[in-house]
Structure 1
Amino acid sequence: MSTEARTPPWRYAIGMLGTSIPINLVRGSVILYYVDILGLDVRAYGIVMTVYAVIDAIDNPVLGYLSDRTRTRFGRRRPWLVVAAPLLAASMIALFSVPTGLDGVGLVLWFAVFAILCEAFDSVLNANYGALLPELFPVEKKRAVANGLRQGFQLVALVLSLAVTPVLTTSVFGTEETTDGFTTTAALYGVLACAVILFMALGVRENPQYATDRRPALWSGILAILRNPLFWKVGLVGACYAVAMGLVLSGVQLYVRYSLGLPVANALFLQAVVILVSAGGLVLWTRVVARRGALWTWRVAYAVLAVSFVGLFFANDLVTAMVAGAVVGLGWSGMLATNDLVVARVLDADAAAHGEHREGLFLSAFGFFGRLNGVLIGLALTSLGVFFGYNSGADPGTDPGLAFRVYLCAYPFVLTTVGAVASRFVHVPAPETSLAAVIGDDTPDDTTDDAADDAADDQGAPT
């Protein structure tokens, strides 16, 4: 019996709710909490993020390697998910529970320790959770459905961790200028996320054949990945999208405060529009994937996302920002529906070429590009001090409004434009093509048609 028959797509997909809540709370609120309220200097923030990138470059491949080599009666991925979930929740709660009066070096160290722990446990969760997608759903049409569902759950998580959070932290559990609301909110989200991840992990059924393969070696596996051109092409192009959205998620509350001149709680309305449009867009983009293939759809979505930031830059009140945000949501939902499918194709091709299922190692290596996110966000934030004089909430400079328009709109526009252009030069075989390389002529007829459609898409021909 196939894993597709034994694991309902919704049971796998709901895990995205649990994996997304903690890290999006961290990325969406940590600058507001530490820099604007507690007064952490943006230069210290940038240094911490740079140090983390170095640590992450070392620990991510090791964590993925250990996951690939794990052999238990519970599977390869599930034990890691069960262990990492409570550790991430605890680290997130600690990150938003700075002791009263802590400042200076002590504040920097507290931030550094728990920010790094949050990112590390998030890496464990996402490498193992992401590795299950190509294993459980090897056919792209069914994979697209599972991915669409999980991205839908991610949007639910974003409603909580981004849109609702400003109201909880500044109105329900705290105020605009205090931190108590963050601690309570983090505790609630931590419990919810942990429960959802455990529910998902205990319900999926891994493919036992994957565990019968020889255990991948670390250094030869890393070298094979580094020699794979698709790793660099897809990783770097995908990083343009990841960093751009990281800037948006981390800066939206300060964009509302400084660029629109409104209380932070109004971020709820802007984020709600983006998320609601993204939810509807997922249905549309998933249908486009079924018709034109993931790669073609990915390229189109990238272009839409890049253009959307122009309107957001020129928005001057909440209404115009919400209209521009709707376009951002449309482009973003296209990337949510396709980016992981393109990455999964790379994993399929690697498994077909080398006869090893090392999805954990591969995704951890891809995670390095994602962790460039933290470094570049730190550099972008530091640049606001250089160009606009914004160093912290206590020292915002003469024009923090323009500073956060550049941070939230101009920088993402440049990144996504580069990514949209570069995506035209990326060609990744369809998963059914990789499967055919292993099983010969037994590929089902409908998947063969999908591969042909995608090949036509890559050529720019109509299907």
Structure 2
Amino acid sequence: MSQPGVPPAPGRTPAWRYAIGMFGTSIPINMIKGSMILFYVDILGLDVRAYGVVMVVYAVIDALDNPVLGHLSDRTRTRFGRRRPWLLVGAPMLAACMIAFFSAPSSLEGAGLLIWFAVFAILCEAFDSMLNANYGALLPELYPRERDRAVANGLRQGFQLVALVISLAVTPVLTTQVFGTEDSTEGFRTTAVIYGVVALAVIVFMALGARENPRYSTREQPMLLRSVWSIVRNRLFWTVGLTGACYGIAMALVLAGIQLYVRYSLGLPVGNALYLQGVVILVTAAGLVAWTRVVARRGALWAWRVAFMVLAAGFAALFFAGDLVTAIAAGVVVGAGWSGMLATNDLIVARVLDADAARHGEHREGLFLSAFGFFGRLNGVVTGLALTSLGVFFGYNSGDDPGGDPGLAFRVYLCVYPFVLTAIGAVAAQFVSVPVQTPPEADVPEEPPPVGPAGEPTAGRPR
């Protein structure tokens, strides 16, 4: 039964249908981040200093538009829900911009190449933010109980890893061997078209099947400035956000530099990145089951802290790898730590969202996740500065001007910088505290117990 004036709760969205959306949202942005340096700097010859400037500018723009996109989603009121319209609009726009990003004419150089790169990099990041703010906001809404949420999160991380195998490990083979060559751009354009079509189909399928809770849309629309002020005064926002950023930035560096690490540091063709990335991702996928059990036994916070330490140890080992075999061995440790972060990080953030909703009586998942995305946007700044530093310290400016020791340059980029970041995160995580239990759903009325002929409640199963 439902109370008068309260919209009925929707049927439950199957966890697999929600989770598969992660596959669609992951493929485009991971191809972009994983191949942008190789495509623009090493092949097309864009100077790393210009690349660094664009990364800083686009990170600033994205940090500003992210909360606005999340807030607009929270305020959206349509018969299709709050999140689905944004997903259905953002998916084709991201696919189109990704294809354009990898379709830069080979005749472009100098300012023309820089403008093309800047425009489509910023557009891709903006539409990716639109998709992820709305997709992420659906997790606590569709699955308010933590046990259901953990299942859905585990499934979506599994789909993300499948997408990573394709967009990271398989992409170098497709772009440099199947559809193109080591020094051409044709393979990137063809691969981008295929990935764009697949991502669009998957996101639309997921969005059409998501059954949003209409009760969330009956509340008063939150005000932007008041909501932002409330969030920035939340201690958990800063402690969890900054600590999680250490992990996010470290993985962004790896994502951006792995192909050039293979080319310069290991001295192998870029296509060999398939084996290194493939093993890391397979270990990560297998580890999700083990980490889920650890979370059940010791809690998400304890597992989160341990995962940080394992990830830092993996980057330290990767620095000393001298060939593909030893790099893969170190990659196993990286994969184990990464798996732990995937299994726990979103659960830590979800606890913060639950506590905010319980305290303020407003469901601001879109704005809150976009605000957390501010820390994610630091990825672009740090990635750009880190790449620029290779020119300063090692003389690597582009594929046309790689300097005297590009192998050491990308060993530092891929191993030393991520190690420092994850080591800082491991220490900071020891001081982070989040609510131990998910607060009850105060806004969802319970079903009244069944009554007998005399009006007395009858026995029923405990809820």
With normalisation by structure 1, the TM-score equals 0.93
The alignment status of 1:155 with 2:139, answered yes or no, reads no
Contact kept, 8 Å, 1:285 with 1:333, in 2: the verdict is yes
User: Does residue 246 of the first structure (1) align with residue 290 of the second (2)?
Assistant: no
Query: For residues 67 and 99 of structure 1, do their structure 2 counterparts lie closer, same or farther at Cα, with a shift above 3 Å needed?
Result: same
The answer to whether structure 1 residue 82 and structure 2 residue 88 are counterparts is yes
| Aligned counterpart for 1:129 among listed residues 132, 135, 156 | 135
What SS does the aligned partner of 2:427 have? helix
Q: Do the aligned residues in 2 keep the contact of 1:144 with 1:289 (CA within 8 Å)? A: no
Structure 1 residues without counterparts, runs of 5 or longer: 443-463
1:11 aligns to what? 17
Which residue of 197, 206, 212 corresponds with 1:191? Answer: 197
What is aligned with 2:408? 402
Match of 1:47 among 45, 53, 77: 53
When you count helix as a share of all residues, which structure comes out higher? 1
Check if 1:346 corresponds to 2:362. no
In 2, distance between residues paired with 1:5 and 1:307?
44
Q: Note the C-alpha offset of 1:335.
A: 0.4
2:413 aligned with 1:369: no
Q: Does 1:299 align with 2:280?
A: no
| Distance in 2 (alpha carbons) for counterparts of 1:351 and 1:314 | 46
Work out the CA distance in 1 between the residues paired with 2:252 and 2:221.
35
Correspondence for 1:264 = 270
Partner residue, 1:448: none
Q: Does 1:31 align with 2:42?
A: no
CA distance in 2, matches of 1:3, 1:440: 10
Change (3 A) 1:48 1:217: same
Q: Distance in 2 between matches of 1:59 and 1:425?
A: 31
Alpha-carbon distance between aligned partners in 2 of 1:402 and 1:124, rounded to the nearest angstrom: 37
The 1:138/1:130 distance shift into structure 2, 3 A limit, reads same
Q: 1:141 aligned to 2:147?
A: yes
Counterparts of 2:363 and 2:12, CA distance in 1:
20
Contact (CA 8 Å) 1:53, 1:372: kept in 2 or not?
A: yes
Give the drift of 1:439. Answer: 8.1
Greater displacement, 1-10 / 196-205: 1-10
SS in 1 for 2:440: helix
Q: Give 1:439-450 correspondences, 5 Å limit.
A: none
SS at match of 2:116: helix
**Offset at 1:41?**
0.6
Q: Does structure 1 retain, via aligned residues, the 8 Å contact 2:9–2:214?
A: no
Name which of 331, 335, 345 aligns with 1:329. Answer: 335
- If you compute each CA radius of gyration, which structure gives the higher value, 1 or 2? 2
Cα shift at 1:146: 0.7
Q: Distance in 2 between matches of 1:271 and 1:165?
A: 11
Query: Which whole-Å CA distance do the structure 2 matches of 1:361 and 1:211 have between them?
Result: 15
1:167 corresponds to which of 165, 173, 182: 173
Code of the aligned partner of 1:291: R
The SS at the match of 2:96 is helix
Provide the rounded CA distance (Å) in 2 between the counterparts of 1:162 and 1:436.
39
* 1:114 corresponds to which of 115, 120, 145: 120
Q: How many residues align?
A: 442
Q: Deviations over 1:299-355 (max 9, x none)?
A: 111111111111110000001101111110110011011111111111111101100
Q: In 2, Cα distance between the equivalents of 1:165 and 1:382?
A: 25
What is the rounded CA distance, in whole Å, between the counterparts of 1:58 and 1:393 in structure 2?
A: 33
When residues 10 and 440 of structure 1 are mapped into structure 2, their CA distance, relative to the original with a 3 A threshold, is: closer
Q: Specify the code of the residue in structure 2 equivalent to 1:85.
A: A
C-alpha separation between the residues in 2 aligned to 1:180 and 1:435?
Answer: 53
The 1:250–1:231 alpha-carbon spacing in structure 2 relative to 1, beyond 3 Å, is: same
What is the alpha-carbon distance in structure 2 between the residues aligned to residue 267 and residue 100 of structure 1?
Answer: 25
Moved more, 109-118 or 3-12: 3-12
Alpha-carbon deviation of 1:53? Answer: 1.8
Q: CA deviation at 1:440?
A: 11
Residue in 2 aligned with 1:102?
108
Superposition deviation, residue 430 in structure 1: 3.6
Give the letter for the 2:389 counterpart: S
Shift of 1:438: 6.8
Q: How far apart, CA to CA, are the structure 1 residues paired with 2:440 and 2:419? A: 37
Deviating above 4 A after TM superposition, structure 1's stretches of 4 or more consecutive aligned residues are 1-5, 436-442
Match of 1:56 in 2: 62
Counterpart Cα distance in 2 of 1:175 and 1:5: 50
**1:384 and 1:403 in contact (8 A); partners too:** yes
Secondary structure of the residue that 2:220 maps to in structure 1? coil
Within a 5 Å distance, the mapping from 1:408-427 to structure 2 comes to 408-427=414-433
Q: Counterparts of 2:142 and 2:330 in 1: how far apart (Å)? A: 37
2:122 and 2:25 map into 1 onto residues whose CA distance is: 16
Once the two structures are TM-superposed, the CA of residue 104 in structure 1 deviates from its matched residue by 0.2
Change (3 A) 1:439 1:168: closer
Do structure 1's residue 435 and structure 2's residue 440 form an aligned pair?
yes
TM-score by length of 2: 0.93
Secondary structure of the residue aligned to 1:393 is coil
Residue 446 of structure 1 is matched in structure 2 by none
CA distance in 2, matches of 1:346, 1:284: 24
Q: How has the CA–CA distance of structure 1 residues 323 and 244 changed in structure 2, closer, same or farther, with 3 Å as cutoff? A: same
1:44-97 deviation line (CA, Å, top 9, x unaligned): 111001111221122111111100000111110000000000000000000000
Partners of 1:424 and 1:52 in 2: how far apart?
32
Query: Structure 1 residues 195, 380: CA separation in 2 closer, same or farther (over 3 Å shift)?
Result: same
Which residue identity is paired with 2:341? M
d(CA) in 2 for partners of 1:351, 1:63: 19
Deviations 1:257-315 (A, max 9, x none): 00000000000000000000001001111122222221111111111111111111000
SS of residue paired to 2:209: coil
Please give the alpha-carbon distance, in whole angstroms, between the structure 1 residues aligned to 2:325 and 2:367. Answer: 45
Percent identity, please.
76
Structure 1 partner of 2:285: 279
